[in-house]
Amino acid sequence: MMIKKSGVLFIICLFLIGVTSPALSFSICYQGSKGLTENHMAFMQYFDSSLKNQKSEPEFVRVLDLARTQNKNGYSVVLDCGNHVLLNVTTSSEFLKDLKTGQEIVFYGEAQDWKKNFYQDSKQEYVEITMNNGFVNFQEVIRTTTPRQ
């Protein structure tokens, strides 16, 4: 009888882990790329209902641009996800002064807004997502997965 109860409890725990894991795993880079394939209104509704204010999982991204904010109290950082999704982050962290363009970092934050633009040189579309409450970790980033192409 005890083995049967333990088995049922084990199965319930596996089910709960399986159901909650995708909900806890949120990739802003992957989700943002859907804006390239869906029409503007559909993605706007999707963004407002499913992405806005959601905290992304830590992701590897490259620094595309880094500049001081107008009030000189922080930095504006543009991060490249590599799939025509750019993340725009404004932060007051002073340690970002050592960040270099092209450097691979780990980032996570909350999605606040988005827009679709065209690259100037190729006229190809990209999605730019404005992030809030962003955290950047670039000290000794060691990947356990294969690097992006």
Q: What percent of the chain has pLDDT over 90?
A: 15
Whether CATH 3.40.50 fits 31-137:
no
Q: pTM to 2 decimals?
A: 0.72
Q: Determine the average pLDDT of the residues in 71-75.
A: 78
Q: What is the pLDDT of residue 21?
A: 40
Confidence of residue 24 (pLDDT cuts 50, 70, 90): very low
What confidence tens digit (pLDDT) does each residue in 75-125 have?
Answer: 888 999 988 999 998 877 777 778 889 989 888 888 899 988 888 888 888
What are the structure tokens assigned to 57, written together?
Answer: 């999982």
Q: Determine the average pLDDT of the residues in 3-20.
A: 51
Q: What is the pLDDT of residue 62?
A: 92
Q: What percent of the chain has pLDDT over 70?
A: 74
Share the mean pLDDT of the chain: 77
Cα distances from 51 to residues 32, 86, 105, 131, 136, in angstroms, run 9, 15, 22, 11, 20
